[in-house]
Amino acid sequence: MMRRLAALLLFLPLLAAADPLPSWNDGPAKLAVTQFVTEVTDATSSTFVPPAERVAVFDNDGTLWVEQPMYTQLAFVLDRLKAMAPQNPQWREQQPFKAALEGDQAALSEAGMEGLMELLMTTHAGMTSEAFNQLASDWIEQAKHPRFDQHYTSLVYQPMLELLDYLRSNGFKTFIVSGGGIAFMRPWTEQVYGIPPEQVIGSEIELTYEVQDGKPVLVRQPEIAFIDDKAGKPVGIARHIGRRPILAFGNSDGDYQMLEWTTARASPRLGLILHHDDAEREYAYDRDSHVGRLARGLDDAAKQGWIVVSMKRDWTQVFPNQTHD
Amino acid sequence: MMRRLAALLLFLPLLAAADPLPSWNDGPAKLAVTQFVTEVTDATSSTFVPPAERVAVFDNDGTLWVEQPMYTQLAFVLDRLKAMAPQNPQWREQQPFKAALEGDQAALSEAGMEGLMELLMTTHAGMTSEAFNQLASDWIEQAKHPRFDQHYTSLVYQPMLELLDYLRSNGFKTFIVSGGGIAFMRPWTEQVYGIPPEQVIGSEIELTYEVQDGKPVLVRQPEIAFIDDKAGKPVGIARHIGRRPILAFGNSDGDYQMLEWTTARASPRLGLILHHDDAEREYAYDRDSHVGRLARGLDDAAKQGWIVVSMKRDWTQVFPNQTHD
């Protein structure tokens, strides 16, 4: 017993020296992260931050997992509509359903935000929370990405999984702050990212509490309660966390205010933006993309002191099981 | 070193046997709690609950701290109005402000919910979140209870502090689910209850994100965003926690749905109601009280399998530093 303990003690320095971010190339981004973590965890330094205040927030779509060619939640919406279509034959002649079922991008664009909202509410409301959880869980277990032919939960970014682990092993509490639906993410974030449901913040529809045949249920209503995007992200953070993060990581202009709010606090603070510049291993898009548009963030990053992480240069690997496609 | 370790090991069984709830009298309530915790933490039992799912929710007013003769937050409102009165001389002739400043209960009652809402918004909105935090923190540090002449944060219930600690030391995550304002509680719950801001759920007003003179702020708007009371409590739990608690503790009919939602799940689950029946050490009130009314909960407790905790019989001590008044 004592021998094994002694052997273990001998290996501790080695374990400590192991690279916690093996999928990150040595470079300014990795250095900024490891220096920041060293600063806030050094109890003898003026930059020390008590563990309770080590709050790190992460966007989801395009920051933790793939968001091209369309938001994963939109793929879920389209699949749900197809599954519901036989019970709704009128959709064959009714917009925006017809466009969605036929994959008619032009007609879908014409239906605009109002049309999209109708599709969202049709597939996300009018059922109990329990029933929706089941639908989302079942879908995420079987659906596959059109290009990579893998489950969406396999198309999370390996370097980000390492970063989440690294932060948590240094006393950070990691949160998702996503424009996506909170109920769509929660069924799988704990297993995939190690982030429990209570640390997932997202957009919400109204819920009502009802007792149906003696059984209490929460019923999802076709009405937006909260949009956790852009200026909504600092609001979502205030509501759910109640303190200002010291680290924020995003990838689009939808994350601008979250980064701004986080890094406007006194030091130490760290803001990071993932730049999708890797068409070969993932996708390359920024200013002109309709999904995950990044323009203002790129323009202001230097001024704001935010680190732009290049997928192409800073990551040795993108997905956990990537084989070139 | 080894001697000290050996000595420590000798004491472990003793430490384990120490009563974790010394302010609870032996009786059915204490037994229900300790049996429940034993059940859910026994990895060999069919009643085992993994730590991630050990969610316990607590009402605040009247469950964790005193709520008589008025909600503490209302005392804060009245004190804020007095502090703001010199800058608002018109209030001397304007209801409901006149009634509030003069302590005119009849006129206040006449102003009703609308009047109360006006007082609440006047004192809680129109400032940044940071400024409000400071006001709430400053007030809670100096204000004293009219009967006990102690700070409100000293008028928390010692048996409940022990219960929170006991649950956490058994892997539970403890949450507050209060009808009170989330921003009024968060500045002090971590220090007083060991419950961090991200585990505090309460009523919310609208927040807007703004950049003022280059500095981002959250501005509190005079508009209700969410009422975390009655049927709102299961909704607040769904929004903030995203899973169903296994233990709920309340004291009024405002907690009925939270208890119902919690205990409608499959076993194991535990619902508890604190009954204020101790006029000598605290207060005695239930069916006819305008604050913390408890009628339906008492009527249905047996049928629902909820444990009614008698302050008088089940608690050896009420406040941490109680001297009879």
CB–CB of A320/A156 below 8 Å?
Answer: yes
Collapse the DSSP code of A165 into the 3-class scheme (helix H, G, I; strand E, B; otherwise coil) and give the result. helix
Distance from A166 to chain B by nearest Cα, in Å? 20
ipTM given for this complex: 0.92
C-beta atoms of A257 and B209 within 8 A = yes
Distance from B222 to chain A by nearest Cα, in Å? 15
CB–CB of B116/B96 below 8 Å?
Answer: yes
Query: For a pLDDT cut of 90, what percent of chain B falls above it?
Result: 88
Q: Which amino acid is at A203?
A: S
Collapse the DSSP code of B200 into the 3-class scheme (helix H, G, I; strand E, B; otherwise coil) and give the result. strand
Check: pTM over 0.95? Answer yes or no.
no
C-beta atoms surrounding A95 within 10 Å: 15
Confidence category of residue B322, pLDDT binned at 50, 70, 90: confident
Confidence check: pLDDT of B267 > 90? no
pLDDT of residue A105: 85
Confidence category of residue B141, pLDDT binned at 50, 70, 90: very high
- Asked which of A32-46, A61-75, B9-23, B84-98 is least confident by mean pLDDT, the reply is B9-23
DSSP A42-90: -TTSTT---GGG-EEEE--BTTTB---SS-HHHHHHHHHHHHHGGG-GG
pLDDT of residue A3: 61
pLDDT of residue A210: 98
C-beta atoms of B257 and A209 within 8 A = yes
Residue of A nearest to B55 (CA): A198
Token pair of B301, please? 């407790």
Higher pLDDT, B106 or A185: A185
Q: Across the A/B interface, how many CB contacts are shorter than 8 Å?
A: 82
Distance from A124 to chain B by nearest Cα, in Å? 15
Q: What is the 3-state secondary structure (H, E, C) of B103-144?
A: CCHHHHHHHHHHHHHHHHHHHHCCCEHHHHHHHHHHHHHHCE
Question: What's the whole-number average pLDDT of chain B?
Answer: 94
Nearest Cα residue to B264 out of B305, B294, B231: B305
Sign of CA dihedral B105, B108, B112, B118: negative
Query: For a pLDDT cut of 70, what percent of chain B falls above it?
Result: 94
Mean pLDDT to the nearest integer, B291-313: 97
Q: Quote the Cα angle for A189-A193-A196, to 5°.
A: 50
Mean pLDDT to the nearest integer, B271-284: 98
Confidence check: pLDDT of B13 > 60? no
Instruction: Say how far apart CA A273 and CA B279 lie, in whole Å.
Output: 59
Mean pLDDT to the nearest integer, B39-57: 97
Q: Which of B1, B209, B227 to mutate to test the interface with A (most CBs of A within 10 A)?
A: B209
Closest CB to A234: pick one of B183, B190, B218: B218
- Asked which of A20-29, B112-121, B145-154, B236-245 is least confident by mean pLDDT, the reply is B112-121
Confidence check: pLDDT of B14 > 80? no
Closest CB to A238: pick one of B129, B173, B231: B129
Residue of A nearest to B53 (CA): A196
CB–CB of A182/B239 below 8 Å?
Answer: yes
C-beta atoms of B238 and A218 within 8 A = yes
Confidence check: pLDDT of B9 > 80? no
Angle between helical axes of B72-84 and B129-142 (0-180°, round to 10): 110
List of chain A residues whose C-beta atoms are within 8 Å of the C-beta of residue B215: 264
Give Cβ neighbours of residue A172 (< 8 Å, ≥ 6 apart).
Answer: A51, A54, A55, A56, A247
C-beta atoms of A197 and B241 within 8 A = yes
List of chain B residues whose C-beta atoms are within 8 Å of the C-beta of residue A209: 231-232, 234-235, 257, 261
Chain A positions contacting chain B at CB under 8 Å are 52, 55, 129, 173, 182-183, 186, 190, 196-200, 204, 207-209, 211, 215-216, 218, 231-232, 234-235, 238-243, 257, 260-261, 264
Instruction: Say how far apart CA A263 and CA A131 lie, in whole Å.
Output: 39
C-beta atoms of B208 and A231 within 8 A = yes
Q: Which of B55, B174, B188, B198 to mutate to test the interface with A (most CBs of A within 10 A)?
A: B198
pLDDT of residue A109: 84
Instruction: Say how far apart CA B104 and CA A86 lie, in whole Å.
Output: 65
Mean pLDDT to the nearest integer, B17-35: 95
Location of structure tokens 């927030």: A57
C-beta atoms of A241 and B129 within 8 A = no
Instruction: Say how far apart CA B232 and CA B209 lie, in whole Å.
Output: 25
DSSP-assigned letter for residue A218: E
DSSP-assigned letter for residue B1: -
Confidence check: pLDDT of B6 > 90? no
C-beta atoms of A204 and B231 within 8 A = no
List of chain B residues whose C-beta atoms are within 8 Å of the C-beta of residue A194: none
Closest CB to B198: pick one of A207, A208, A240: A240
Q: Which amino acid is at B115?
A: G
pLDDT of residue B266: 87
pLDDT of residue A4: 62
Distance from B95 to chain A by nearest Cα, in Å? 32
Closest CB to B242: pick one of A173, A200, A242: A200
**Local confidence pLDDT in tens for the 325 residues of chain A:** 456 656 555 555 555 568 999 999 999 999 999 999 999 999 999 999 999 999 999 999 999 999 999 999 999 999 999 999 999 999 999 999 999 999 998 888 888 889 989 999 999 999 999 999 999 999 999 999 999 999 999 999 999 999 999 999 999 999 999 999 999 999 999 999 999 999 999 999 999 999 999 999 999 999 999 999 999 999 999 999 999 999 999 999 999 999 999 999 888 999 999 999 999 999 999 999 989 999 999 999 999 999 999 999 999 999 998 755 4
